[in-house]
Structure 1
Amino acid sequence: VQVPYTRSQAGLHLLVDSTGIKFLGEGEWKCKKHGPERRRQWRKLHIGIDAQTLQVRAICVTSNNVSDAAVIPDLLQQLPEDEVLESLTGDGAYDTQPVHEEVIKRGGIPIIPPRKNARIRKGKAFVHRNAAIAACRRLGRSIWKRWIGYHRRSLVETKMNCIKRLGERLMSR
């Protein structure tokens, strides 16, 4: 199904995140109170939203053992080839070489906080990551996050909450 969307005016700033969704099993309170009676099953929902329009631009559902970083090629493939990707913002789970390479290949800037023990690496894919490491060491992580605009990633958390709240009361028989 093709759903129309509004393109961003000056390039796409994609915000990505994932969350777990339980689709089989008892509720959390019952499990904590009485113990689990049967195995609960989860799926992982990965979404990418446009920071300007807040529209969901890419979505993928995987099993719960798939890493966040492994899904980035699938999410980016859902975007039109002619659309300019300005940046991709994600949490530390996306701080991997394949993610940096995919974002650079699409012409974007990865805005991903480096791990606390991150080291400078060689290669074209790590130019922005190395700059982030240097800035975090010089300024501190919290100042770097404010300076680079990392906190707009909370918009994808808000969208994720909207999606989960909608599905909270939907059931099928």
Structure 2
Amino acid sequence: MPDLAGRLRLPLRQTQGLMRSVVALMGLDVLVPDFSTLSRRSKGMALPPTEPRLGSDGPITLVVDSTGLKLVGAGEWLETKHCAKSSRKRWRKLHLGLDLVSGEIVCSELTTDEIGDPTALPDLLDQIDGSVARFIADGAYDGIKTRDLLAARFGDHVNAVIPPPKNAAASPDAATHPTVRDRHIAEIAKQGRLAWQKSTGYNQRSRIETQMGRWNTVIGPKLQARGLDNQKTEARIGVLVLNTMTELGRPIFERTL
């Protein structure tokens, strides 16, 4: 019901009335919980673990990104009812990690808006049981801290595809012992950034941007819950909804004799 409320742009109380009307019209013997019960139980609610999807055996290609989710609160109420501008827009930051092959969201984290992408990355990686062969992210993740974290979690073999900034400088040992970042800087300087994106597969990062668009369309760009713990539960439910839709929409191939 929380995600139905977000999809219909209704508060939980109105969603409760709608669902009870639907149940009555269908003649079903189903109890619809009231909005206060949903609010209380959503805090710390344990959700079923996500089962691995077809095609996810072995190391995966992990693509990560983040987007902002608006909070429905007193700011919008003042603006709507009293034409008063709120002093500050309130946001939460949703961090998602996508398995490039299966299209499944394999890790997610909802944080306050001041948490940067590299800071949220350790909690995202903690949710991944298997190994990662390739990591694709935008320039916000560029830095030694991110690369050391990936090497510590998945080994030195992980291929981190992160675009260095335009003013990036190679390391002092680039001539004798170049790092992956040094090679990226050299390739961009030689062939151009667009050619580097194509050769490294960085263009595939558009898949996570598409997933963010699906989130805003299917789940909605706003959070209905008030407290951070309940908002995290709401976000986890949204992940399960999108993963279920992805699973239902992907073909399954079986060899026949």
Q: Confirm or deny a common fold (TM above 0.5).
A: yes
**What is the match of residue 205 of structure 2?**
153
**What is the match of residue 77 of structure 1?**
126
1:16-165 to 2 correspondence within 5 Å? 16-24=64-72, 25-26=75-76, 36-80=85-129, 83-105=130-152, 106-107=154-155, 108-121=158-171, 127-165=179-217
Residue deviations 1:100-124 (CA, integer Å, cap 9, x gap): 111122131110000111111268x
Structure ranking higher in strand proportion = 1
Q: Report deviation, 1:88.
A: 0.8
Unaligned runs of 5+ in 1: none
| Structure 1 counterpart of 2:189, one-letter code | R
State the structure with bigger RCO (CA 8 A, min sep 6), 1 or 2: 2
Q: 1:111 to 1:172 in 2, by over 3 A?
A: closer
Normalized against structure 1, the TM-score is what?
0.85
Q: Secondary structure at the match of 1:88?
A: strand
Q: 1:47 to 1:144 in 2, by over 3 A?
A: same
Cα distance in 1 between the residues matched to 2:160 and 2:110: 22
How many residue pairs are counted as aligned between the two chains?
Answer: 165
Identity within the alignment, %: 32
Normalized against structure 2, the TM-score is what?
0.58
Q: Report deviation, 1:164.
A: 1.8
Cα distance in 1 between the residues matched to 2:149 and 2:172: 16
Structure ranking higher in helix proportion = 2
Larger radius of gyration: 2
Would you say the 8 A contact 2:107–2:127 is kept in 1? yes
Q: Secondary structure at the match of 1:121?
A: coil
**What is the match of residue 12 of structure 1?**
60
Unaligned runs of 5+ in 2: 1-46, 227-257
Which segments of structure 1 move beyond 4 Å, counting only runs of 4 or more? 169-173
